[in-house]
A and B are shown apart, each in its own frame.
Chain A
Amino acid sequence: MLVDFRPHSRLRGTTPIDITTALVPVVEALSEDSTDLSKVRLVCDWVQYRENFRDVVELRPILAEPERLPAGGPVIEQVGVRDDDMEVAVDVRRSGKVALKEHTAELLREHAGGGTGGRVTLEEWGPGSASCIWSFNARYWADLDLWEKSTGRGYEQALPGGESDARNHDAARDLIRKLFAVWDPLSDNNALPEELYVVELGVGNGSQAKVFLDEFRALDLAHGRGYYRRLHYLMCDYSQHVLDLARETVCDHLAHVSSFALDATRPRTSLGFLRYKVFLVYISNVYDNLPTDEVAQLGGRTYQVQTRAYLPPEQARALAGQANTTPDQVGALVHKLLRLGPALLAEAAPANFADTDAAVTFWRAAWSAIRLEERYVPLAGLDLYEIAPEVGGEMLRPLLESGADVRMHVNNGALASFVDSLQLLHPFGKLVCHDLFVTDVQSYRSHFRGPGKYDGSVVNWVNGPLLAHVGRRHGFDVHYAPFSHRSGGNIVTMTAQVRD
């Protein structure tokens, strides 16, 4: 049996994890079970998100056969160094607070019997990016006003620190001065385009845009080059409603602002006319909220992490009570909610929900209850896995080729957005992104990086080394640095600009 205790730093300090209560009962339950211990991986995480998708203990099957096979020829089996068939995952932040041994033993019995323990399954197995949790995520942004009304707080208050870094004036001034430093020599050589484009993806309430435009106008006045007159600021967001609100926020600058409703993963669908013309693509706290798969290298083999959303039996019963229905009907109601939104759901299912508020209450409870089962499915070849349009699975090879065990995010949505955005950049342009980045692969071996829940949305840290690698293969240098205008946070600034 292999034991991988990832949050090892928490074994020391003023309140160290008591391993005898947080882990040993799991080992005892395994020892007393008939499971082949030589094929078990026991992994321990510290899941820092109070709201997350994990149970305290989870059993994850490790499949032997890939789902998708290459065409023609024999399937080449990966040569591994272990033959594990099950992973037992423990959240040691919570494991000391439950009857761990009994809980684990029950899970092992269910697993051996092929049962589900009364869970209400919401979907079939699939890659993480295909899970319905992303439909919840999209619904949250689409009906943000209803959610905020229900919780009584704005979404920014749900962020760590209670404020988006997007409205930081020092950061905006720094960025603008760097733009001027690029533009001045181009202007001197008569090589600066008449129109100076800046694109913001994920505009939120427009406060970043306002800070940027206010500072830009003031700095340009002092600089005396007339750049503000030539500036075109393009606010882009998934939601037209959000864009309308953002336009009100930047009402002083409307002559210089356009807004586009678009999917952040495919900005060129609306902005293709700006190919190679944009001097700054600005993104703040968007990538961590886009769909992602995970891959794992375990015992010398490469796997895709597949997930399946479910509601635990107790919570399914509670939800059924809320909606005047039976637990086996809750799944259908959840999907109807995701499709229609709470307002229309209340109209479509009056027998279940008295009004929109009731539907929102159901939504919030379902979101709080939802969990993800996981399993590992071998990848028959990296070439069979498309990460994003025009980004093949081979891009993962440098991060996996050491053969050492690691499980990491692929951040498919973020990569798609990143690669598509790079196509917009002027030869002297740059992409600046503030977000939760993992900046070295080793960090995946010691910290849990998601998914977690931020209010009604999903959060995953972003695989910085993967984005850097993909960026390099597109001719860009990608650098990471701690967000320099606020101390103590996890936010990292990624900068991508043409290399060489």
Chain B
Amino acid sequence: MSAPRNAALMGRVPLLPTTVVGSYPVPEWMERLKTDYYRSRMSFAQLTDLHEMAIKAALRDQELAGIDIVSDGELRRDNDIDYFLARMPGVEIPQTAKDFYFDYYEARVPAPLPDRFATAPLGLADDFTFTAEQTSGPVKFSFTGPFSLSRRIHDSAYADQRELVLAIARVLNAEAHALAERGAQLLQIDEPFLAGYPDAVGTAIEAVNIVTEGVDVTWGLHVCYGNRYARPLWEGHYDFLFPAVLDARVDQLVLEFARKGYEDLPVIEKFGWDRTIGLGVVDVKSSEVETPELIASRIRSALELVPAERLVVNPDCGLRNVTGAVARAKLAAMVAGTAAVRAELAPRITAPPVNDIAAASESPTETAPESVARGA
């Protein structure tokens, strides 16, 4: 967690910046092709080309909608778990073919994960680099957190589930370092399974802090109630996160509100969360497109509890399960609703001079792509 870094990032975007949580719609034709890959009917090179074209299109959609902080749509990933586990040293996938690309693998860990890595083994930095090269705007890069990844593993190596979670966190920490070295400035840890295991929140936060250790970027932590096939996996309230989450070394808490309602927002404030909140204002489990007025009213309600400087506006979760047309319409409505509220607030410098950004934000490494170094 880095206050100067976070301030630098927020300085590059308007007040009430708009962003996405991560995933973007996968069209039906793309699902068929991705499934073809898992049935050995398409080569990896073809799949990679497909992914890259889709990512470019997703970025373009977000930019046209006016999103301030964009993402790659997680379009390389077959689901929220397998992309990471299939590349993680020590994780075995006995059956790699799939009936449908979105299905989960049966992953197992027969022996403790190796604790030393010569390089970041998951290759996330390459994914980020590609994305950053396609856009001049700030990029959010998200990945699934150690706790949720651990829930999809048949573990026969560790006597205590916590040890597995922490071991995965160490792998992700290596990835995070590599991402930061490539110029990533906003990383988000997704924990879609955490709400189903409220008793484990302490372990999950301990692992989050291992992931973020020594990685000087703006960190987001996304906790939702599940979004697989546009369905909630769990029910409950965000009070389970507290007080443990106050110890998390993250800058932003990105939460689901639009579907569930905003009753939990006062709870979060009551527990003393004084950092940024990613406010879910778009229900990603419904194809009904919110009006800009509805979005604006949700933001205004939140502003009664949280100052504008601490709010980021985003959908509840990833947009994977709605159609492209619905996603574009929802993002456009989100941007319009946010703009309406922004106009009502006191004027603020929305784009500081480039020199100021450079001063507030350390330069990326020499290998950082030009587009990232150039900034917004």
Contact in complex: A276, B232 (CB < 8 Å): yes
Given contacts A427-B235, A500-B104, contact A474 B198 (CB under 8 A): no
Q: Looking at the assembled complex, report how far the CB atom of B27 sits from the nearest CB atom of chain A, in whole angstroms.
A: 11
Q: Looking at the assembled complex, report how far the CB atom of A474 sits from the nearest CB atom of chain B, in whole angstroms.
A: 5
Contact in complex: B236, A191 (CB < 8 Å): yes
Contact in complex: B233, A427 (CB < 8 Å): yes
> What's the Cα separation between A178 and B209 when bound, in Å?
40
Contact in complex: B236, A427 (CB < 8 Å): no
Contact in complex: B234, A475 (CB < 8 Å): no
Contact in complex: A394, B231 (CB < 8 Å): no
Q: Could you say which of B198, B229, B235, B236 contacts A475, with CB atoms under 8 Å apart?
A: B229
> What's the Cα separation between A498 and B232 when bound, in Å?
10
- Is B49 an interface residue, CB under 8 A from the partner? no
The residue of chain A having its C-beta at the shortest distance from the C-beta of B193 within the complex is: A500
The residue of chain A having its C-beta at the shortest distance from the C-beta of B81 within the complex is: A500
> What's the Cα separation between A474 and B321 when bound, in Å?
10
Inter-chain contacts of A475 with B (CB < 8 A): 228-231
Contact in complex: B198, A189 (CB < 8 Å): yes
* Residues 218-240 of B at the A interface (beta carbon under 8 Å): 226, 228-236
- Is A268 an interface residue, CB under 8 A from the partner? no
Q: Could you say which of B229, B231, B235 contacts A191, with CB atoms under 8 Å apart?
A: B235
Contact in complex: B235, A276 (CB < 8 Å): yes
The residue of chain B having its C-beta at the shortest distance from the C-beta of A192 within the complex is: B235
Inter-chain contacts of A498 with B (CB < 8 A): 231, 233
**Digit string of B228-258 for contact with A (CB within 8 Å is 1, else 0)?**
1111111110000000000000000000000
> What's the Cα separation between A475 and B226 when bound, in Å?
12
> What's the Cα separation between A191 and B28 when bound, in Å?
36
- Is B100 an interface residue, CB under 8 A from the partner? yes
> What's the Cα separation between A394 and B30 when bound, in Å?
13
> What's the Cα separation between A498 and B229 when bound, in Å?
10
Contact in complex: A473, B233 (CB < 8 Å): no
> What's the Cα separation between A432 and B116 when bound, in Å?
49
Inter-chain contacts of B226 with A (CB < 8 A): 427
Inter-chain contacts of B198 with A (CB < 8 A): 189
Contact in complex: B235, A474 (CB < 8 Å): no
> What's the Cα separation between A426 and B198 when bound, in Å?
18
Given contacts A189-B198, A394-B28, A500-B104, contact A473 B229 (CB under 8 A): yes
Inter-chain contacts of B229 with A (CB < 8 A): 473-476
Q: Looking at the assembled complex, report how far the CB atom of A130 sits from the nearest CB atom of chain B, in whole angstroms.
A: 26
- Is A472 an interface residue, CB under 8 A from the partner? yes
Q: Looking at the assembled complex, report how far the CB atom of A73 sits from the nearest CB atom of chain B, in whole angstroms.
A: 16
Contact-residue bracket for chain B = 10 to 19
The residue of chain A having its C-beta at the shortest distance from the C-beta of B198 within the complex is: A189
Total interface residues in chain A, CB < 8 Å: 15
> What's the Cα separation between A426 and B231 when bound, in Å?
9
* Residues 84-123 of B at the A interface (beta carbon under 8 Å): 100, 104
* Residues 154-198 of A at the B interface (beta carbon under 8 Å): 189, 191, 193
Inter-chain contacts of A193 with B (CB < 8 A): 235
Inter-chain contacts of A472 with B (CB < 8 A): 100
A193, A392, A475, A476: which has the most chain B beta carbons within 10 Å?
A475
Inter-chain contacts of A473 with B (CB < 8 A): 100, 229
Contact in complex: A427, B232 (CB < 8 Å): yes
Q: Could you say which of B104, B228, B230, B235 contacts A426, with CB atoms under 8 Å apart?
A: B235
Inter-chain contacts of B28 with A (CB < 8 A): 392, 394
Contact in complex: A427, B234 (CB < 8 Å): yes
> What's the Cα separation between A473 and B104 when bound, in Å?
13
Inter-chain contacts of B236 with A (CB < 8 A): 191
> What's the Cα separation between A193 and B229 when bound, in Å?
23
* Residues 409-434 of A at the B interface (beta carbon under 8 Å): 426-427
> What's the Cα separation between A472 and B101 when bound, in Å?
12
Q: Looking at the assembled complex, report how far the CB atom of B324 sits from the nearest CB atom of chain A, in whole angstroms.
A: 15
The residue of chain B having its C-beta at the shortest distance from the C-beta of A475 within the complex is: B229
Contact in complex: B231, A427 (CB < 8 Å): yes
Inter-chain contacts of B231 with A (CB < 8 A): 276, 427, 474-475, 498
Q: Looking at the assembled complex, report how far the CB atom of B94 sits from the nearest CB atom of chain A, in whole angstroms.
A: 18
Inter-chain contacts of A427 with B (CB < 8 A): 226, 231-235
Q: Looking at the assembled complex, report how far the CB atom of A21 sits from the nearest CB atom of chain B, in whole angstroms.
A: 46
Inter-chain contacts of B100 with A (CB < 8 A): 472-473
**Digit string of B6-34 for contact with A (CB within 8 Å is 1, else 0)?**
00000000000000000000001000000
Q: Could you say which of A189, A276, A392, A500 contacts B228, with CB atoms under 8 Å apart?
A: A500
The residue of chain A having its C-beta at the shortest distance from the C-beta of B102 within the complex is: A473
> What's the Cα separation between A426 and B235 when bound, in Å?
9
**Digit string of A296-308 for contact with B (CB within 8 Å is 1, else 0)?**
0000000000000
**Digit string of A138-151 for contact with B (CB within 8 Å is 1, else 0)?**
00000000000000
The residue of chain A having its C-beta at the shortest distance from the C-beta of B321 within the complex is: A475
Inter-chain contacts of A189 with B (CB < 8 A): 198-199
B199, B226, B229: which has the most chain A beta carbons within 10 Å?
B229
**Digit string of A463-500 for contact with B (CB within 8 Å is 1, else 0)?**
00000000011111000000000000000000000101
> What's the Cα separation between A473 and B231 when bound, in Å?
12
Inter-chain contacts of A474 with B (CB < 8 A): 229, 231
> What's the Cα separation between A276 and B229 when bound, in Å?
13
Q: Looking at the assembled complex, report how far the CB atom of A373 sits from the nearest CB atom of chain B, in whole angstroms.
A: 35
> What's the Cα separation between A146 and B199 when bound, in Å?
60
The residue of chain A having its C-beta at the shortest distance from the C-beta of B286 within the complex is: A275
> What's the Cα separation between A168 and B328 when bound, in Å?
50
> What's the Cα separation between A498 and B225 when bound, in Å?
14
Inter-chain contacts of A276 with B (CB < 8 A): 231-232, 235
> What's the Cα separation between A189 and B232 when bound, in Å?
18
Q: Looking at the assembled complex, report how far the CB atom of B106 sits from the nearest CB atom of chain A, in whole angstroms.
A: 11
> What's the Cα separation between A472 and B99 when bound, in Å?
11
> What's the Cα separation between A472 and B228 when bound, in Å?
11
Inter-chain contacts of A500 with B (CB < 8 A): 104, 228
The residue of chain A having its C-beta at the shortest distance from the C-beta of B233 within the complex is: A427
Q: Looking at the assembled complex, report how far the CB atom of B238 sits from the nearest CB atom of chain A, in whole angstroms.
A: 13
Q: Looking at the assembled complex, report how far the CB atom of B104 sits from the nearest CB atom of chain A, in whole angstroms.
A: 6
**Digit string of A344-382 for contact with B (CB within 8 Å is 1, else 0)?**
000000000000000000000000000000000000000
Inter-chain contacts of B228 with A (CB < 8 A): 475, 500
The residue of chain B having its C-beta at the shortest distance from the C-beta of A191 within the complex is: B236
> What's the Cα separation between A423 and B236 when bound, in Å?
18
Inter-chain contacts of A392 with B (CB < 8 A): 28
Q: Looking at the assembled complex, report how far the CB atom of B107 sits from the nearest CB atom of chain A, in whole angstroms.
A: 12
User: What would 10 more interface pairs be, CB under 8 Å, given A189-B199, A394-B28, A474-B229?
Assistant: A189-B198, A191-B236, A427-B231, A427-B232, A427-B234, A427-B235, A473-B229, A498-B233, A500-B104, A500-B228
6 contacts between A and B (CB under 8 A): A189-B198, A193-B235, A276-B231, A392-B28, A474-B229, A498-B233
Counting from the closest, the 10 A-B pairs by CB-CB distance are: A475-B229, A475-B231, A474-B229, A475-B228, A427-B233, A427-B232, A500-B104, A191-B236, A427-B234, A276-B232
A residues lining the B interface (CB < 8 Å):
189, 191, 193, 276, 392, 394, 426-427, 472-476, 498, 500
